[in-house]
Structure 1
Amino acid sequence: MTTDKRTPSPATCTLNGAPCRTRTGATVLTDICEHQKVSASSKHHLVPGVVERLMQSWSTKECYDHISPVSIPSHGAVVTIIEQTRRILFPGYFTSAKLHAANLEYYIGNETAELYEKLAEQITMAIRHDCRRHGQPCTNCEVRANEMAYQFIERLPDIASILAQDIRATLEGDPAVNGPDEIIFSYPGLRAITVYRMAHELHALGVPIIPRIMTEWAHGETGIDINPGATIGPGLFIDHGTGVVVGETTVIGSNVRIYQGVTLGALSLPRDAGEKMKHKKRHPTIEDNVIIYSNATILGGDTVIGAGSVIGGNIWLTESVPAGTKVVLKRPELIYQHSRADA
């Protein structure tokens, strides 16, 4: 008679359907497996209660909601429109395609046709969204959107011409620049101005919401906040740019230079200013050939900075300045304190 001397296999057990930890030749039961501990700590069963409270909250919203079969404009699609418009305005700068005389017309034609279709679609959504928001009857949104999109396309040559003057102003005003390529590729001032000039055209056409999406995107990208309703002449140069604010009813003439931190804003407004002040001029007018240095604040709809004036850094103005005026702060008293080495 032979004896099987093979080592017995470790015993297999389960605890509540899960395998236990084992040692060779013995079974060791654990109180509960790790998976079950994690499962027991889950709060998944509490989520429906939060959803119920959210539903109650949305049902009582007085100022916002968009629970509707009507599509709202796509933020991502609007950014795509910005980038495609830049490729058309600055051919060869923001594309991977190699452009030359033989294919330039085809490339621009294809890009412009695509831009028209994308823009018309988003404008249609914007108009429908506006109609729903204000309970308006049918406003022929698609017909209007097609017309607005074409009018924007028709304005592209003029926008390109104005941007050329903006670039020229930067070349003339910034000794640190090494040519137009550097400005187009890397200057946040030109990027913000470019987006503003697109958005302003759409704003002037009466396109809802999309112009503001555009300029607020540029604000996040550059730190420069230009409302699409502002009126800005050619040759604008924003140097450095971080913290610049240009309000909705601001009027800026030709060949104006603005440095970082400048605010062209409104005076203190009442709590109900949203409706009461909506169609009134609240922001200043800056005439031609003005220079405004860093951190200057100019406020008020009746404030006019005359042509050729220079506004120094850290100035606070709420009243008009005649043409050719230089406004600067009195030199502050500086105090120098030296510590003695033997002190």
Structure 2
Amino acid sequence: MSLVSALIYRRRSALVGRLVQEVLALYGVEVPAAVEIGPGLKVFHRGFGTVVHPFTTIGANVTIYNGVTLGRADPWVPQEASAMERIVIEDGVCLCAGAKVVCKQGVLTIGRGTVLGANAVLTTSTGPDEIWAGVPARRIGHRIPLSEAGATA
């Protein structure tokens, strides 16, 4: 587990939580204590420039590269008036460098095993094991689950 990943898990600690948040800020990482994170989070390149909205749930074994943003599409609207409810990142998702997930309204879900390409801007939910890229992001392929890849090899 990387140092940044370890710090992210310790950000909720009553004793050192505030100090951990400040150390993460030195790395350019903002992950509020309200963010729910499953086990096995991998953060590469120290997560430099990564920002996560407090109304986010991150599943197990998610990979996040540097410069990823998970947030609202309407930051000028007060949080109470925003149509955004939550961003859900399911298990095994890979968010490549510079990817942006921007929720306009309701719950935006990135399906299990989905890959969001570098610098993609996603504004809609995805299905499982899909590959998305571009601005705005669009589905460009389908990922073969490891269980099927091993069976065909």
With the shorter chain as reference, the TM-score category is: 0.7 to 0.9
Mapping for residues 1-343 of structure 1, pairs under 5 Å: 167=1, 190-202=2-14, 211=17, 213-240=18-45, 241-273=47-79, 276=80, 282-300=85-103, 302-329=107-134
Gaps of 5+ in 2: 136-153
CA deviations over 1:115-162 (Å, ceiling 9, x no partner):
xxxxxxxxxxxxxxxxxxxxxxxxxxxxxxxxxxxxxxxxxxxxxxxx
CA contact under 8 A between 1:297 and 1:317: conserved in structure 2?
yes
Q: Aligned pair in 2 of structure 1 residues 221, 315: CA closer, same or farther (>3 Å)?
A: same
Shift in Å, 1:219? 2.8
> Counting helix residues as a fraction of each chain, which structure ranks higher?
1
In 2, Cα distance between equivalents of 1:282 and 1:224: 22
CA contact under 8 A between 1:235 and 1:254: conserved in structure 2?
yes
Give the TM-score normalised by the residue count of structure 2. 0.74
SS in 1 for 2:12: helix
The alignment-based identity, stated in percent, is 29
Shift in Å, 1:313? 0.7
CA contact under 8 A between 1:195 and 1:214: conserved in structure 2?
no
Shift in Å, 1:269? 3.4
CA contact under 8 A between 1:215 and 1:228: conserved in structure 2?
no
Give the paired residue count.
132
In 1, Cα distance between equivalents of 2:50 and 2:89: 15
In 2, Cα distance between equivalents of 1:214 and 1:193: 15
CA deviations over 1:183-235 (Å, ceiling 9, x no partner):
xxxxxxx3333233223254xxxx9xx74x33531233212211111001111
CA contact under 8 A between 1:265 and 1:283: conserved in structure 2?
no
CA contact under 8 A between 1:231 and 1:251: conserved in structure 2?
yes
Counterpart amino acid of residue 238 in structure 1? V
Give 1 or 2 for the bigger CA radius of gyration.
Answer: 1
SS in 1 for 2:73: coil
SS in 1 for 2:70: strand
RMSD: 2.6
Give the TM-score normalised by the residue count of structure 1. 0.35
Work out which structure has the larger RCO, using CA pairs closer than 8 Å and 6 or more positions apart in sequence: 2
Q: Aligned pair in 2 of structure 1 residues 281, 249: CA closer, same or farther (>3 Å)?
A: farther
Shift in Å, 1:327? 0.7
Gaps of 5+ in 1: 1-166, 168-189, 331-343
Q: Could you list the runs of 4 or more consecutive aligned residues of structure 1 that deviate by over 3 angstroms after TM superposition?
A: 269-272, 280-283
CA contact under 8 A between 1:293 and 1:311: conserved in structure 2?
yes
> Counting strand residues as a fraction of each chain, which structure ranks higher?
2
CA contact under 8 A between 1:250 and 1:284: conserved in structure 2?
yes
